[in-house]
Amino acid sequence: MAGAPIRLHHVLLASPPGSEGEARRFFGELLGLAEVPKPASLARRGGVWFELEDGQLHIGIEREFRPAEKAHPAFAVPDLAALRRRLIAAGVETWEDEPFPGRDRFYARDPFGNRLEFLGPERPEKERVA
């Protein structure tokens, strides 16, 4: 369809003022995302940006943020089990929901209460849950 979106450019998650270090530890060190510089015009607002293979994750500063009211990102992960073990070892609670057709998945929350979804590789047709 002409003019239809073809990929996601960025996702914004909320965090409180002064939480950049915690965002770097969780998203940079624990999840392994690469931080990218913010444009100078936005740097004074605070927050940090991270690069994904197909877009960016922006951790924005909101003085009175309500993370439960934000949409959540769904990350594609090549080794879902390894990531889940790493999160659990770091004390991050994870949980499952309804099966996602053709993929394994789990959820977690970042240190600010934002919900994150993690999707494993697509399973072959014969392994899919109906």
pTM of the model: 0.84
Q: Write down the architecture of domain 10-62+72-127 according to CATH.
A: Roll (3.10)
Classified as helix, coil or strand, 26 is: helix
In degrees and rounded to multiples of 5, residue 3 shows phi and psi of 80, 0
Residue 127 pLDDT greater than 60, yes or no: no
- Kindly list the domain boundaries of the chain, sorted by start residue: 10-62+72-127
Q: In angstroms, what CA-CA distances link 107 with 7, 26, 46, 93, 100?
A: 22, 15, 27, 9, 12
pLDDT tens profile 2-47: 666 667 778 889 899 999 999 999 999 999 999 999 888 888 888 9
Q: How many CA atoms lie within 13 A of 8 on its CB side?
A: 16
